[in-house]
Amino acid sequence: MKSFDAIVIGAGQAGPFLAARMVEKGMKVALIERKFLGGTCVNAGCMPTKTLVASARAAHVARNGAVYGVNLSGEIAIDMKVVRARAETVTMNARNGLIGWFAGMDGMTVIYGHARFEDPKTVSVNGETLTAPRIFLNVGARPVIPELSGVNDIDYLTSTSIIHLDTLPRHLAVIGGSYIGLEFAQMYRRFGAEVSVIEHGPKLASREDDDISDAIADVLRSEGIDIHTGASDIAFARSRDGITVATDSARIDASHVLIATGRKPNTDDLGLNAAGVITDKHGYITVDDSLATNVDGIWALGDCNGRGAFTHTSYNDFEIAAANLLDGDDRKVSSRILAYALYIDPPLGRVGMTEKQARASGRKIMISTRPMSRVGRANERGETKGFMKVIADAETKKILGAAILGIEGDEVIHGIIDAMNAGTTYPALQWSVPIHPTVSELIPTLLGDLKPVQL
């Protein structure tokens, strides 16, 4: 049996950085990864997909160049092999950077294999047994495949497999109208495929307020994406030319099907029962405000704990664990203000409460909206789709939440994220002097238009 000061299972966006911090403190650490260093973000999520989004945007801009006085002769051709190779290069550079970093780190042992608990302090991997007083789980999540009629009879794609396509689908049917599905829908439409989005619920991006969901749908429809919401009885069948996707109200002749209906944690094959670690009904590991499980000496970080499904929340889990365990701090997950983005174009930047959540809280609230068509920078760039929205507490003057669907919305939202984390009241933020011409310069104006609403 090999003994360590700590064992980290899973090399996503929390585990490796925590392992490195512990090594800096002179600890002996084992980092176990069953596949690739970097987790979903590096290998099948943020880095490859945002690289693909960039290629798709380049195609879109080129195709619309005449609007800006840039005339290109002939059709815009997409070389999917180059597109794929570019995304793979970005992934490999990041992955190899992690490999090189750990290789030069004394005290770190990287083990590739599938770890399972033998007891609360012991895990087995590749026929070896390892033990440590501290074990950290950062095992991530994977696409979930719903039990739909005929789904097992077709060759469907997931968000993991679609990034390896080096040919252009004739017609891509996207099952699921949430964040992952919508990014791929717009991306492949811009590459030149016909695209249909099929969503069981009444709205796309159902977490958002109705006005945001409707605006997202308008953006996608304006680019020729076919959207089917409220779809039921979804079924698949092979056809001579590809795959038939049928719902209660539509029949789609697709060449490829992307299943993007959610993700589930990679916790079902870790031997958690042997350690006594509790999960909820969806398989997420139950943790407290410090990310500790119910078993002393075991923590769960990242997507597998159900406390956030983003790279930045996973990294923040590392920061919380490191601060508490190594720096004598007392940081809590509940102190985190949730923020995220939807990387369609234009992107959606979101922080804090939606209007629906704010109304349900019983607070006296104020709301302000401003269309991107009234933003100078958006007009200069010829990208005026979307709008800005902010919600504030009428009594405390604190900002409760905001949504910016529009050009550079994923960057602009950080001005509000920072203000909310600093506890700045909206009247104070109104007196900032932002740079012109930018999209961010409209934040004080947006805040100045806040008006009370009836609950």
The answer for residues whose C-beta is within 8 angstroms of residue 30's C-beta and 6 or more apart is 2, 4, 6, 7, 8, 109, 111, 130, 132
247 within 8 A of 162, measured Cβ to Cβ: no
Place 73 in a pLDDT band, splitting at 50, 70 and 90: confident
Place 249 in a pLDDT band, splitting at 50, 70 and 90: very high
> H helices within 276-408, ranges in order?
311-326, 355-360, 376-381
For the stretch 146-160, pLDDT in tens is 999 999 999 999 999
Residue stretches of the annotated binding site for NAD(+): 176-183, 199, 262
Give the per-residue pLDDT at 165. Answer: 97
Residue stretches of the annotated binding site: 50, 176-183, 199, 262, 303
Mean pLDDT for 103-131 is: 97
Q: What is the DSSP string of 213-266?
A: HHHHHHHHHHTT-EEE-S--S-EEEEETTEEEEE-SS-EEEESEEEE-S-EEES
Residue 348 C-alpha from the chain's centroid: 12
Distance between CA atoms of residues 107 and 4, nearest Å: 9
171 is catalytic: no
φ and ψ at 355, to 5 degrees? -60, -40
Token pair 């969503």 is at which residue?
199
According to DSSP, the residues that pair with 401 across neighbouring strands are: 352, 391
> H helices within 223-330, ranges in order?
272-275, 311-326
Token output for 372: 């991107």
* Local structure of 14: helix, strand or coil: coil
Q: What is the DSSP string of 95-126?
A: HHHHHHHHHT-TTEEEEES--EEEETTEEEET
Give the per-residue pLDDT at 267. Answer: 97
pLDDT at 74 over 90: no
The closest alpha carbon to 34, from 269, 263, 262, 260, belongs to 269
Give the per-residue pLDDT at 75. Answer: 87
> H helices within 128-249, ranges in order?
179-191, 210-222
User: 271, exposed or middle or buried, with CB in 10 Å at 0-12, 13-18, 19+?
Assistant: middle
Distance between CA atoms of residues 216 and 320, nearest Å: 34
Sign, CA dihedral 435-437-439-445, equals positive
φ and ψ at 343, to 5 degrees? -95, 50
Q: Is 363 left (phi over 0), alpha (psi -120 to 50) or beta?
A: beta
User: Which amino acid would we find at residue 403?
Assistant: A
Q: Please report, for the chain, the start and end positions of each structural domain, with discontinuous segments joined by +.
A: 2-141+264-335, 151-261, 339-452
The reply to whether 2-141+264-335 and 151-261 are identical in fold is yes
Token output for 406: 């529009």
**CATH number for the segment(s) 2-141+264-335:** 3.50.50.60
Q: Please report which helix (H) or strand (E) contains residue 436, including its range.
A: none
172 within 8 A of 193, measured Cβ to Cβ: yes
The closest alpha carbon to 138, from 3, 6, 336, belongs to 6
Give the per-residue pLDDT at 401. Answer: 98
**CATH number for the segment(s) 339-452:** 3.30.390.30
Mean pLDDT for 199-209 is: 97
Query: Using only C-alpha atoms, what is the Rg of the chain?
Result: 24
pLDDT at 455 over 90: no
Look up the pTM and report it.
0.96
For the domain made up of 151-261, the CATH class stated in words is: alpha beta
Distance between CA atoms of residues 228 and 164, nearest Å: 26
Token output for 62: 């080129």
Place 141 in a pLDDT band, splitting at 50, 70 and 90: very high
185 within 8 A of 151, measured Cβ to Cβ: no
Token output for 71: 């005339």
285 within 8 A of 277, measured Cβ to Cβ: yes
Mean pLDDT for 168-196 is: 98
The answer for residues whose C-beta is within 8 angstroms of residue 294's C-beta and 6 or more apart is 276, 277, 278, 286
150 within 8 A of 233, measured Cβ to Cβ: no
For the stretch 358-409, pLDDT in tens is 999 999 999 999 999 999 999 999 999 999 999 999 999 999 999 999 999 9
Cα distances (angstroms) measured from residue 39 to each of 8, 42, 138, 212, 309: 13, 6, 9, 30, 13
Give the per-residue pLDDT at 234. Answer: 97
